[in-house]
C-alpha cells in the first residue's frame, strides 16, 4: 500500500480546538463486524464485558517546548525529544541532558549556547536530526519552570488568545463549565490523562483523555479490569509521513515499559475468555512491540514498530482510539487493526455525521478485524 491510500477529506471545522464539556461527554463511533454504530462514549459501559481488561498508557506530558535566544541574538524554539541518561546511576528525573529538536535560522554548532530567562543551555553536538543539549538543572525541573505545553500544530493558540479567559469564546463544547478560565489552564488540565504518572511524553495519549476517575471506577465495579503500561510519546508523533512508499518510512524511536504484573493480568484475561482492550495506539505499539519476538513479556526499552495493514496482532483484541490525521502512521495502524476498507468507510461516516476529530475530538471503539 502507499501513503495516498490513507488520505481522506476532512473539513477544517471538524478539527476540535477545545475538549468536550466533560471528559466522558464525547461521542463514540463503534466499528464492529464492518458496521459503524453511532453513540456516546459512556456506551463503553455496555460495550465492555465483565472480565475484559483495559490497558492504559500512564505517561505524563511535560512542558516540552521552550522559547530561547541564541548567544548571537537570534530566536530559537526547543522541543524535547528524550532525556538522556549519562550513566546507569542517573535516573531520568535527575538527568540534565537531552536530545531536542531546535528550530533556528542556521544550524547550531557544538559549544553554542541558548538562553532561556538568562539560564544557559549548552549545545554538545548533534545526533542525526536532534541536538544534544545540556541544561543548567535536571531537564524535567527546567521544563516545569520555563516550558510550554507542546500542543499539536492543528490546535490553534495564537499569542493574543493565550491567557485570555474563555468567556464567550467556546460556543458549544465547554460553555458553562470553564467560563472565566484561561486557555492555558484548560490545556494544562485537559491535555493530560487523569492517570498520568511518569513524566516524559511530549504529546498526550489522547484516547485516555476521555476517561474520568469516576468512569474508570464505574467500569471496574462492573468487572472490567485496568492495567497500565508506559510509552513516552516523542516529538516524532507530529512529523508527517513523507514517503509515498511506506517501506521507506522510518519511525522515530519511543521508549516504553511493561511490568510483569501487567503481563500476568493480560495472560489471565485471555485464559478466562476476556478481551484485551488497548486505550490508544500507544498501548497497541507497547504491547505488540513487547510480543514481537515471542510471547508477551515484561520489557523496558525502545521501539520503532511501524504497524501497517498486513501486520499480525498478537495481544490486543479491541481498541479505544481518537480519529487520526490523514496519511499518518496512526491512521495506518487503525486500518491495520480494524481492516482497511471498514476503517476508511467509518471515517467517511464520521465526517458525514460531523464527529469532532483529533486530540480533543471524539472517540472510536474498534474490534480487531479477522481479515
Model pLDDT for residues 73-88, shown as the tens digit of each residue: 999 999 999 899 866 5
147 neighbors 128 (Cβ within 8 angstroms):
no
- Rounded mean pLDDT of 104-117? 95
pLDDT band at 215 (very low <50, low <70, confident <90, very high): very high
The reported pLDDT for the residue numbered 213 is 98
> What are φ and ψ of residue 13, in 5° steps?
-70, -10
Work out the mean pLDDT of the chain and round it to a whole number: 91
- Compute the distance between CA of residue 83 and CA of residue 279 in angstroms, rounded to an integer: 25
Q: For 208-221, what is the mean pLDDT?
A: 98
Calpha distance 278→362 (Å, rounded): 16
Cell triple for 368: 480487531
Question: Which domains does the chain possess?
Answer: 3-61+187-367 (3.40.1780.10), 65-146 (2.40.10.240)
Compute the distance between CA of residue 68 and CA of residue 60 in angstroms, rounded to an integer.
24
Provide the percentage of residues in the chain whose pLDDT is more than 70.
91
Q: Is residue 214 predicted with pLDDT exceeding 90?
A: yes
List Cβ neighbours of 231 (8 Å cut-off, separation of 6 or more): 57, 59, 205, 254, 255, 256, 257, 282, 283, 285, 286, 303
Q: Say how far apart CA 99 and CA 86 lie, in whole Å.
A: 12
Q: Is the pLDDT of residue 371 over 90?
A: no
Residue 97 near residue 84, CB atoms below 8 Å: yes
Q: With contact defined as beta carbons under 8 Å apart, do 44 and 277 qualify?
A: no
Q: Determine the pLDDT at residue 154.
A: 94
* In the block, residue with C-alpha cell 554548532: 109
- The residue among 149, 231, 229 whose CA lies nearest residue 189 is 149
- Per residue in 266-315, pLDDT (tens digit) is 999 999 999 999 999 999 999 999 999 899 999 999 999 999 999 999 99
Does pLDDT of 118 surpass 70? yes
Q: Is the pLDDT of residue 339 over 60?
A: yes
Q: What is the pLDDT of residues 160-208, one digit of tens each?
A: 445 544 444 444 455 444 544 578 889 999 999 999 999 999 999 999 9
pLDDT of residue 177: 45
Contact yes or no for 60/196 (Cβ under 8 A)? yes
Question: CB burial class (10 A; 0-12, 13-18, 19+) of residue 109?
Answer: exposed
Instruction: Quickly list H helices, 100-232.
Output: 139-146, 183-190, 213-221
Amino acid at each position: 500500500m502507499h501513503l495516498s491510500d490513507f488520505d481522506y477529506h476532512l473539513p477544517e471545522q471538524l478539527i476540535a480546538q477545545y475538549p468536550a464539556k466533560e471528559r466522558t461527554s464525547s461521542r463514540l463511533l463503534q466499528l464492529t463486524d464492518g458496521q459503524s454504530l453511532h453513540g456516546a462514549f459512556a456506551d463503553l459501559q455496555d460495550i465492555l464485558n465483565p472480565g475484559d481488561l483495559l490497558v492504559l498508557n500512564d505517561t505524563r506530558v511535560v512542558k516540552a517546548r521552550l522559547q530561547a535566544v541564541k548567544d548571537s541574538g537570534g530566536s530559537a524554539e526547543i522541543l524535547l525529544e528524550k532525556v538522556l541518561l549519562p550513566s546507569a546511576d542517573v535516573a531520568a528525573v535527575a538527568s540534565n541532558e537531552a536530545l531536542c529538536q531546535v528550530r533556528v535560522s542556521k544550524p547550531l554548532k557544538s559549544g553554542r549556547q541558548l538562553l532561556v530567562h538568562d539560564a544557559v543551555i549548552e549545545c554538545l553536538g548533534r545526533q542525526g536530526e536532534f541536538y544534544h543539549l545540556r541544561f543548567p538543572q535536571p531537564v524535567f525541573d527546567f521544563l516545569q519552570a520555563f516550558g510550554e505545553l507542546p500542543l499539536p500544530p492543528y490546535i490553534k493558540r495564537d499569542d493574543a488568545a493565550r491567557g485570555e479567559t474563555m468567556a464567550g469564546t467556546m460556543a458549544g463544547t465547554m460553555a458553562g463549565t470553564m467560563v472565566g478560565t484561561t486557555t492555558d489552564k484548560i490545556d494544562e488540565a485537559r491535555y493530560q490523562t487523569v492517570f498520568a504518572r511518569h513524566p516524559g511524553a511530549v504529546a498526550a495519549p489522547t484516547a485516555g483523555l476521555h476517561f474520568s476517575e469516576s468512569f474508570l471506577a464505574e467500569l471496574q465495579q462492573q468487572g472490567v479490569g485496568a492495567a497500565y503500561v508506559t510509552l513516552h510519546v516523542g516529538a516524532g508523533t507530529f512529523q508527517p509521513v513523507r514517503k509515498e512508499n511506506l517501506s521507506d518510512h522510518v519511525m522515530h524511536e519511543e521508549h516504553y515499559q511493561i511490568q510483569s504484573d501487567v503481563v500476568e493480568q493480560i495472560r489471565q484475561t485471555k485464559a478466562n475468555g476476556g478481551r484485551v482492550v488497548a486505550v490508544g495506539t500507544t498501548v497497541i505499539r507497547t504491547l505488540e512491540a513487547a510480543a514481537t519476538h515471542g510471547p508477551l513479556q515484561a520489557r523496558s526499552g525502545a521501539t520503532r514498530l511501524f504497524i501497517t495493514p498486513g501486520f499480525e496482532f498478537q495481544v490486543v483484541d479491541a481498541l479505544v482510539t481518537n480519529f487520526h490525521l490523514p496519511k499518518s502512521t496512526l491512521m495506518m495502524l487503525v486500518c491495520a487493526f480494524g481492516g482497511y476498507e471498514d476503517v476508511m468507510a467509518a471515517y467517511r461516516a464520521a465526517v458525514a455525521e460531523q464527529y469532532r476529530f483529533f486530540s480533543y475530538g471524539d472517540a472510536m471503539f474498534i474490534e480487531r478485524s479477522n481479515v
